[in-house]
Amino acid sequence: MRNKGHIAGLWRRNEGVLQSRGICRILIALLLAPALLAGCAGGQQSQPEGTPSPEGARQGPLSVYASFYPMYDFAVKIGGERVNAVNMVPAGVEPHDWEPGAADMVGLESADVFIYNGAGMEHWAEDILESLQNPGLVAVEASAGIPLMEGHDDHGDDHGEEEEEEEEGDHEDDHEDGEFDPHVWLDPQRAKTEMLNIRDAFKKADPEGAAVYDANYNKYAAQLDELDGEFSDALAAFSGRDIIVAHEAFGYLCAAYGLNQVPIEGLSPDSEPDPARMAEIIEFAAQRDIKVIFFEELVSPKVAETIAEAVGAQTDVLNPFEGPGDDDSGGGDDYFAVMRSNLAALIRALG
């Protein structure tokens, strides 16, 4: 843990940036509470954190901070016992508008690896990285190198038509928040690329563990290929391809398997659709005889229930795997459990 003078200097140097983002909350109060500073970590953790020896040889796991639950889950899978992973977003909290607090800043100052999805998901990440005084930190944008799809903050008369993908290439620094759909992890093949990027970051931070990280990646890459095959085989039989979802989170999933998402709202899951949009969705559901309106665990189901009642449909959960619910403080289901649950929900809806 860095001393009080360093933390105070960090605050003074970055006060304008941090206040503009609403990130640091009463950091001065933390400086007056050394015991709190010693114990702050936040989020879900795996194994106890190790302490490097004075000679610099690693003793114990890497200290890994993950921006939200998918990154945490992937980190634990690839890192295994060689990492101590922290999920920065608490259980039950929707991650799109969440921002780090002072305890997260302090933790990142002593972390070995920081994993974030990128593609506009964490609007605060770049400012945080610029403000840190941790030269040894390995930061990895897990979505780097993945072709991105355009996203929308609202919808007009598009009725959820499939988005065109951007050309392949590195997308770092070529977009502003909200321009692209960040939910790349919902396509198993893109999730495999994210795990690959995380593996490479761990190997950079901990070269001695390279063989472990390679083996874990190969194991889960094979499981992702198997999951991809399950989705392809199960969904190919259905003639109906339209699904109505709470927010625009399933573009990559739908593009991978020839489905068409019709989002009630855009990329922001907690916004409210206006009456015109509600009328469009109700008309679309009636015309296509859609029998299931999907909602999400971390977002109120009221809008989905209203539409379902209007067209005589049912509601069901399609999980964007953004975080565990309030009752899953122990960690919640992992990626494969959630995705197979999603597949079962899609089969019920399309069938």
- The residue ranking higher by pLDDT, 52 or 136, is 136
pLDDT score, position 3 = 44
pLDDT score, position 299 = 83
Q: How far apart are CA 34 and CA 29, in angstroms?
A: 10
Q: How far apart are CA 46 and CA 76, in angstroms?
A: 8
Mean pLDDT (whole number) for 15-29: 42
Q: How far apart are CA 347 and CA 76, in angstroms?
A: 30
Mean pLDDT (whole number) for 271-280: 89
CA-angle at 227, arms to 82 and 61, nearest 5°: 5
For residue 301, with 0-12 CB atoms within 10 Å meaning exposed, 13-18 middle and 19 or more buried, which class applies? middle
pLDDT score, position 206 = 98
Mean pLDDT (whole number) for 2-28: 43
What's the pLDDT tens digit per position in 288-320?
A: 999 999 999 888 899 999 999 999 999 999 999
Domain coordinates in residue numbering, the chain: 4-157+167-226, 239-350
Mean pLDDT (whole number) for 70-98: 95
- Give domain 4-157+167-226's CATH architecture: 3-Layer(aba) Sandwich (3.40)
pLDDT score, position 242 = 97
**Over pLDDT 90: what percentage of the chain?**
66
Could you please state the CATH topology (level 3) that the domain comprising 239-350 is classified under: Rossmann fold (3.40.50)
pLDDT score, position 21 = 44
What's the pLDDT tens digit per position in 226-275?
A: 999 999 999 999 999 999 999 899 999 999 999 999 999 887 766 778 89
- The residue ranking higher by pLDDT, 31 or 179, is 179
Q: Is residue 200 over pLDDT 80?
A: yes
pLDDT score, position 57 = 54
CA dihedral 212, 215, 217, 221 (to 10 degrees): -170
Q: Is residue 141 over pLDDT 80?
A: yes
**Over pLDDT 70: what percentage of the chain?**
74
- The residue ranking higher by pLDDT, 330 or 284, is 284
- Of 147, 320, 344, residue with least CA distance to 231: 344
Mean pLDDT (whole number) for 129-135: 96
Query: Does 4-157+167-226 match 239-350 in CATH topology?
Result: yes
Mean pLDDT (whole number) for 191-210: 98
Phi, psi (5° rounding) for residue 300?
A: -60, 135
User: What is the pLDDT of the chain when averaged over all its residues?
Assistant: 82
pLDDT score, position 272 = 79
Mean pLDDT (whole number) for 270-285: 89
The model's pTM: 0.80
- The residue ranking higher by pLDDT, 308 or 179, is 308
